[in-house]
Amino acid sequence: MKAEIRNSLYEQAKEWILEAGARIRKQMRDPLVISIKSNPQDLVTTVDEETERFLAGKIRELYPDHHLISEEGFGDNLNSMKGTVWLIDPIDGTTNFIHQRRNFAISAGIYHDGIGEIGLIYDVMGDCLYSAKKGEGAFKNEERLPQLREGAMLERSVLAMNNKWLIPNPVVQVEKMEELIRTVRATRTYGSAALEFAYVAEGIVDGYMTIQLSPWDIAAGIIIVNEVGGVTTNVFGEHVDILKKNSILVCNKKIHGRIVNDFILEGKK
C-alpha cells in the first residue's frame, strides 16, 4: 500500500474510532441491554452491535471495495485476505464493559493483500489510543512507543494470561502452565485481548498469551506489537493465520523462545 493511501486511511479510521468511542460513552448512560450468545460467559450488548453497525456503515459508504471481518455480524464471510480488509472488534472486553464499565477497547486492524498496514486500539474510558502504521512505529496517543528492549529473563517477567490455561485445554498440559506461572515474576489478567497486546507494545507487561483468539481480537494488536519489535506468533512459535482462530503468544524476543520451547512444546498435547 502506498504511504499516502495508508496515511489518509489512518486519519479516516482514527476519526471514526474516536467518534465510535464517544458514542459508546454516551450510550453507557442508559441501562445496557445484554444478551447471552453461546453461553453465559459469552455476552453481547446492543452497544457492541450499534458500534459495529456504525463503523461498518462508514466503511461501506466511503470504501465500497473494502472488506470487513468483525465479531457481531455486520462483516463479510471472507476466505481470503486479498484487497483491503478491515478487522474490527467493536468492543473487546465486553465482560469488562458490562461489569466494570471500563477496561474495554475498540480494536481495528487494516490489512492490504494480507499485510498489516494500520492498527488502532482505543481504550474508550481511558481515552487512550494505541496506534501504528506499518514501518512508522507505534504510538500511545501522540507519544511514540520505544522499541522493546531485549527484555528481562523469564524469571523477572510479568506475563498477561488468564486462568483458562489452568483448566484442561486442547493446547497444552495444565502442569506445564503451572510450572510457567511458578517461574515468572507475576501474571496479570486484564480481560481485553486488544489492550493486552497494547500493554505488551507499551512494555508494561513482558508478554501475553491466550487460547483461541479470533481474527478481530488480534488484527490491530499484531501490527502495533510488530512496530515496536515484539514477536507475534501462535503459542507454538508459528506464523499466525489471521483468518483463523489462533492461540497467541506475543512478547519480547528474549522470553519468546523459552516459553515456546520449555513450556508449550514440552507440554503439547
- Nearest approach, Cβ of residue 120 and ligand IPD (Å): 15
- Span 203-232, contacts to Ca ion by CB under 5 A: 217
Instruction: Name 128's Cβ contacts closer than 8 Å, sequence gap at least 6.
Output: 122, 140, 141
Q: C-alpha distances in angstroms, 219 versus 173, 198, 228?
A: 27, 12, 15
In whole angstroms, give the CA distance from residue 236 to residue 144.
30
Stretch that binds ligand IPD, among 78-86, 88-96, 177-185, 228-236 (CB under 6 A): 88-96
Rounded to 10 deg, the angle between the 3-27 and 46-62 helix axes is 150
The contact mask relative to ligand IPD for 139-178 (x = CB under 6 A, - = no) is -----------------------x----------------
| 52: partner contacted, choices Ca ion, ligand IPD, none (Cβ within 5-8 A by kind) | none
* List 75, 93, 151, 230, residue binding ligand IPD (CB under 6 A): 93
55 binds ligand IPD (CB under 6 A): no
Tell me if 243 sits within 8 A of 79, measured CB to CB: yes
Stretch that binds ligand IPD, among 28-36, 78-86, 114-122, 187-195 (CB under 6 A): 187-195
Give the footprint of ligand IPD on this chain (CB under 6 A).
71, 89, 92-94, 162, 191-193, 210, 213, 217
